[in-house]
Structure 1
Amino acid sequence: MQARNSANIKIIDVSHHNGVIDWKKVAADGVKGVFIKATEGVGYTDPKFKVNVQGAIAVGLKVGFYHYCRPETGNTAIKEAESFLAAVAGLAATLPYVLDVEGAAANIGAVKLTDWCQSWLETVEKRSGHRVMVYTGASFAKTNLGAKLAKWPLWVAHYDVNQPMTNSTWKRWSVFQYSSTGKVSGITGDVDMNEMDLGYWMELTGDAQNNPNPVVNPVNKQANEKTKEALKVLQSEQVIQSPAYWVENAFEGGTIRGDYAALLIQNMAKRLATPVPETPKPEQPKPKPEPEKPDKQPKSWTEIEKLTQAASVHVDVGGGGTGVLLKGGLLLTAKHVSKGRESVRIKTNSRDWYTAVLVSEHPGVEKDAVDLALYRIENAPANLPYLPVNTEQLITGQKLLTVQAEYTEWITRSGQLCQISTAKEPWEFDCSIPAQHGNSGGAAVNEYGEVIGVIVNLASMGIQKGSVRESVPGCEAVNLIYPAVVEWLKKNM
C-alpha cells in the first residue's frame, strides 16, 4: 500500500448523521468530491441522501454514492443491489458506486462474504454501466475479503497512520480514509476525511486542473510514439494541458503504464464526440410533486432521557420488571415480565399506580416464541406520557438508551446497536447496553426518542475498539420493525 501524498485530492463522505450541511462552505474549504450514503440493507434509504446529492452537485463537487451492506441478516447480494440501484436511479454521479462492507458482515465467513461482495459489485456494474469500488477497513480487508475482489478499486479506512495496513488482495488503494474526526467548514462536528489518488481522480474526471502540486519525478520516462501522437491530438483540441503532463502522471516504477495512458485517451476522447441532437418530443404535463416529508431531527440525549424516564413504568409482578408506555394508553413489555397475567399493576415515574389489562401476547414465529406482551391501561388519563414506535431501518453503531424502572428509582443506561438480527432469532438485535434483570421489558430508544426494541435478555457483546475486539456486558432486544412484530402491533394497537 502506498503512503499519503500531498498531490492527492481532498474527499469527504457523509450521511444523515452529519446533519444539515452548508455545501458552499464545504467547497470553499478545498473539498473536491464527496461520497454520499444512499442505502443500507434492503429498503432503507438515507433520509438526507437526495438533499446531500443536490447540495453537493450545486456547488460543483464530484459525487459518488455508497451502500452499507447487511449480508449477515440473510439478504442476498442481488436484493441489496436492486435496492441500491432503485435509490440512485436518475441521479448523476462522477465518482464510483461503492459497496461498504464492514462490521457484522464478517459473521458469514470470509469465503461467503467475498462471493457475496462479488455478486453485488457485478450486478451493480452490469445493470448500471457505472464504475464500482469496495470500501472497507484495513484490518477487515486483510481478514475477510479474498482475491476475487482485486479487480475493483479499494477505498480503505485506517485511522491516524500515513500508510494503511497491507493485505493480500489489493496492492494499492484508490481512496484512503485516514480520519473519522476531521473538521470541514460547513459541517458541524466530526467528518470522515479521505484523499483520492491523483491518478484515479484524473481517470474518473479528466480534471488535471485540480492538481495543485503536480508530481515532479527525476526518473526518465518515455512513452511510445502512438501514445504521444494521440496525446498531441487531445492537446490540440484543448482537452488536456500537455502530453508531458499526462506522461508525467501515467507511470509506475519508472515505466509508462500503457493501459493507464490508453484509458486516459479513451475517457478524454468521449469529450470530443459531438452528440447527435434528438428530435424534440411533445411536452408532457408534469405530475404534481408529492410534498416532501420533513426530516426528523435528533433530540438531545438529555431530553431523550427525560422522555424515556417519563414513559417507563415498573411492572409489579413477582420480581418485577420494566415496561414502556405507547400512544393510546398502551403498555408494551416482555411476556416473561408480565408472566401471562390478565391484568398487571404498574407504577409510573410520577409515582402513580394504574391497572393494565392484557390485549395480546405475541403468537411467535412458527414454533419459536417472541417475548412481547401488550396491555391497555384502564381509565388512562389523556396526558399520560408515551414514546412513539420507530418505523425505519435500524443502523449498527447507533447510540441507544434505556431506563430500568425499579420500585423506587428509575435508572438510565446507554450503549450502541451491535448486530441487527441473529441467525436463530432474526426478530431480535444485540446491543451493548449493560442491562440488568430489572431492564427486562424496557424500551431501547434511538436518537429521535423512538422505541426501536424491547429488552428481553442479558448477553455479552463483542465490540470493536480500534483494532481490538473485546467482550462487554450487553443485552438482546425484540426488533419492533421485524415484519412479524410490525404486523402484530398494527393488529392490536
Structure 2
Amino acid sequence: MLALAAALALLLATQTSPAGAEDTPPRGSAHMGMGVAEHDGVHGHPAGTKAAQTEGVDVSSHQGDVAWPTLWNSGVRWAYVKASEGTYYTNPYFAQQYNGSYDIGMIRGAYHFATPDTSDGATQADYFVDHGGGWSRDGKTLPGALDIEWNPYGDACYGKTPSAMVTWIRDFLTRYKARTGRDAVVYTATSWWTQCTGNHDGFAAANPLWIARYAATVGQLPAGWSYYTMWQYTSSGPTVGDHNRFNGAIDRVQALANG
C-alpha cells in the first residue's frame, strides 16, 4: 500500500497543466508590442536617418504613473495611452497618462488592444470610444489606434481565418470612423499581419500605419502601405519601455491630430 501511495503521489507531482498555460498572462494585461520580441525578434538598434522624425512613447498600466516632465525633457513630443482591451478592461492609469501627456505639451492619443475572439469589431470600437478612445479637434489629440497583434492569451490569430480577421478589422475601423469622423491608426507587425490577415492590402488608403519592428530599419511593410506613419522601434527605451518615431517633423504630428 505504501508503494502504491508513493507511486500515485509521484504521478500527481509530474502531471502539469497544458504547455504554456501557467505562463498565460491575466486578461487586461496586454500592451503594444507584447509579442514583438518573442515572435518577430530583436534585430539591433534603428539606423540613423537624415529625414526628420519625432520621438514618441506608448504606455499602459504597466508603466503606472508616468513621469511626463522627464520624457518631455528627453525630447518626446507625442504619446499613445492604452485606453481599453476587448470589452472587459479599461486602463486604471488612463487619466494620469492621457491628461498628463497633454498637460506637459505632448500631442497624445489613445489605443485599444483588440481581442477578436471575445466580441465583434464594431462592439469593441464602441467600447473603445466610450472609454477614452474618442477624438476632438483641439490640435493635440491624435486619432485612436487599433492595436492588432499576437494574442497573448492563446492562438496567435485568435482562432480566426484570414478572411474572418479582415472582416473583424474592417468592422472595427468602420465603426470607429462612424463614431468619431476619423480613420483610426492601425498598429501591427508585418509578420503577424501576413500570417493572420493573409497580408491583406485593403486598409492602406485610409488608415495610417504604425509598424512594430525592433530592428535597424522597419523592413518590409504590410501589403498596401508604401510608407509608415509611426514606427515602434524598441521596447527598452529610457523612462518608458516602448519608444517610437513619427515619420516626419512635429508639424506632421500636428497635421495628423488636426485631421
TM-score, normalised to structure 1, is 0.38
Q: Equivalent residue for 2:24?
A: none
Distance 1:126 1:26, change over 3 A: same
Identity percentage over the alignment? Answer: 28
Distance 1:182 1:128 in 2: 32
Q: Equivalent residue for 1:139?
A: 191
Match of 1:81 among 125, 133, 143: 125
Distance 1:139 1:123 in 2: 26
Q: Equivalent residue for 2:243?
A: 193
Q: Equivalent residue for 2:228?
A: 173
Contact 1:157 1:164 in 2 (8 A): no
Distance 1:175 1:108, change over 3 A: same
Contact 2:235 2:242 in 1 (8 A): yes
Displacement after TM superposition at 1:206 (Å)? 4.5
Distance 1:102 1:89 in 2: 18
**Partner secondary structure for residue 147 of structure 1:** coil
Q: Equivalent residue for 2:88?
A: 43
Contact 1:11 1:194 in 2 (8 A): yes
Contact 2:90 2:131 in 1 (8 A): yes
**Partner secondary structure for residue 149 of structure 1:** coil
Contact 1:139 1:165 in 2 (8 A): no
Distance 1:71 1:206, change over 3 A: closer
Structure of greater relative contact order (alpha carbons < 8 Å, 6+ residues apart): 2
Distance 1:5 1:97, change over 3 A: farther
Distance 1:135 1:50 in 2: 22
- Letter matched to residue 135 of structure 1: Y
Distance 2:89 2:208 in 1: 25
Distance 1:90 1:198, change over 3 A: closer
Distance 1:128 1:206, change over 3 A: closer
- Letter matched to residue 35 of structure 1: Y
Contact 1:113 1:144 in 2 (8 A): yes
Larger Rg: 1
Q: Which ranges of structure 1 fall in alignment gaps of 5 or more residues? A: 208-266, 269-493
More helix by share: 2
Displacement after TM superposition at 1:91 (Å)? 6.8
Distance 1:100 1:137 in 2: 10
Distance 1:157 1:42 in 2: 24
More strand by share: 1
Q: Which ranges of structure 2 fall in alignment gaps of 5 or more residues? A: 1-46
Contact 2:135 2:141 in 1 (8 A): no
Runs of 4+ with deviation above 6 angstroms: none
Match of 1:125 among 169, 174, 177: 177
Distance 1:131 1:203, change over 3 A: farther
Distance 1:127 1:206, change over 3 A: closer
Q: Equivalent residue for 1:257?
A: none
- Letter matched to residue 111 of structure 1: S
Contact 2:86 2:114 in 1 (8 A): yes
Distance 1:19 1:121, change over 3 A: same
Residue 22 (str. 1) matches residue 77 (str. 2): no
Q: Equivalent residue for 2:217?
A: 162
Q: How many residues are paired up? A: 200
Distance 1:97 1:183 in 2: 24
- Letter matched to residue 21 of structure 1: V
Displacement after TM superposition at 1:65 (Å)? 0.6
Contact 1:13 1:193 in 2 (8 A): yes
Q: Equivalent residue for 1:486?
A: none
Distance 2:133 2:245 in 1: 27
Distance 1:90 1:164, change over 3 A: closer
Distance 1:206 1:134 in 2: 17
Residue 205 (str. 1) matches residue 254 (str. 2): yes
